[in-house]
Amino acid sequence: VFTKNTNRGRGRPPGRTAEGEATRERLYRTALRLIHERGYDAATLREVARRAGVSVALLYRYFPNKRAVVLALYDELSETLERQASMGMPGGRWRDRFDEALSLSLGVLAPHRVTLRALAPLIVSDGPDGIFSAATAFSRRRVQATFERAVTAAADAPRAALAPALGRLLYLGHLGVILWWLLDRSPSQRATTALLEAIRRILPAASLALRLSPVQTFVLAVDRAFVEGLLGGEAAANAPAAVSAP
């Protein structure tokens, strides 16, 4: 369903050569390392150029600003999650698959926590780089599709409309967990570990609750509002369950 690299051109100048790709990759890694060391605000593209031994003009051709680095990171991380999830998701119940998707996602993000903390404001903004904006839609859909498939391709997937709806709400909940993790000031983010453990323990009860009519109505209603209000009416992550089922 997803063609690799269709969106990798972000920040890359026209004329894709192997050399150009290698330069881009080196500049990208240098920028990430600097942001990690200095923090997002203090890192400058000027210093990235200096460290990488290229002119600022050349760097700007690849990354016109720091946000371009960030969008490339989002692209890379979502691609990694998608790949890991396509290989590593357990069969069986949706709650185990959701739990796994959540763990995979946090595992992919973990090495970049310092950088991502600086990005949290960007993510919730309604600007061009917001999590629900058009500019980031390609990366977002990959992640959203991972959570939708966690439910739709599960052995105990709820009936038709309920499955993708639940998947999308779990994706939304997962964004909440990431935000919590980014704001978590406890040592080694152990409060996030505790949250994940609490979620894991309540999932069997949540799974039972999903058989109740008021709970199903709730899921469908909130999903409908989520799609209309936050996703801009675009419900489908374009990932047919059949193709990506384990």
User: Under the rule (CB under 8 A), what is the footprint of a second copy?
Assistant: 117, 120-126, 130, 132, 176, 179-180, 182-186, 189-192, 194-195, 197-198, 201-202, 204-205, 209, 212, 214-215, 217-218, 221-222, 224-226, 228-230, 232
CB of 227 to a second copy, least distance (A): 8
Q: Which of 194-230 are b and which e, b meaning 16 or more Cβ less than 10 Å from the residue's Cβ?
A: ebbeebeeebeeebeebeeeeebeebeeebeebbeee
Minimum CB separation of residue 80 from a second copy in Å reads 24
Please name the residues in contact with 232: beta carbons below 8 A apart, sequence gap of 6 or more.
132
Nearest CB to a second copy, comparing residues 54 and 235: 235
Which CB atom, from 86 or from 133, has the smaller least distance to a second copy? 133
Query: Can you tell me the distance from the alpha carbon of 13 to that of 243, in angstroms, rounded to the nearest whole number?
Result: 34
Contact 86, 72 (CB under 8 A): no
CA gap 124, 130 in Å, rounded = 6
Diameter over CA atoms, the chain: 63
Quote the least distance from Cβ 159 to a second copy, whole Å. 19
Nearer to a second copy, 76 or 129 (CB): 129
Nearest approach in angstroms of CB 171 to a second copy is 14
Specify the residue, 79 or 223, whose C-beta has the smaller distance to a second copy: 223
Q: Which is nearer to a second copy, 101 or 116 (CB)?
A: 116
Distance CA 41, CA 38 (A): 8
| Residue closest to 122 by CA, chosen among 136, 103, 106, 141 | 136
Tell me the closest approach of the beta carbon of residue 3 to a second copy, in angstroms.
28
* In the complex, least distance from residue 125 CB atom to a second copy, rounded to whole angstroms: 5
- For a second copy, the closer CB: 208 or 245: 208
- Residues 118 and 38: their CA atoms lie apart, in Å, by 11
128 membership: H or E segment, kind and range: none
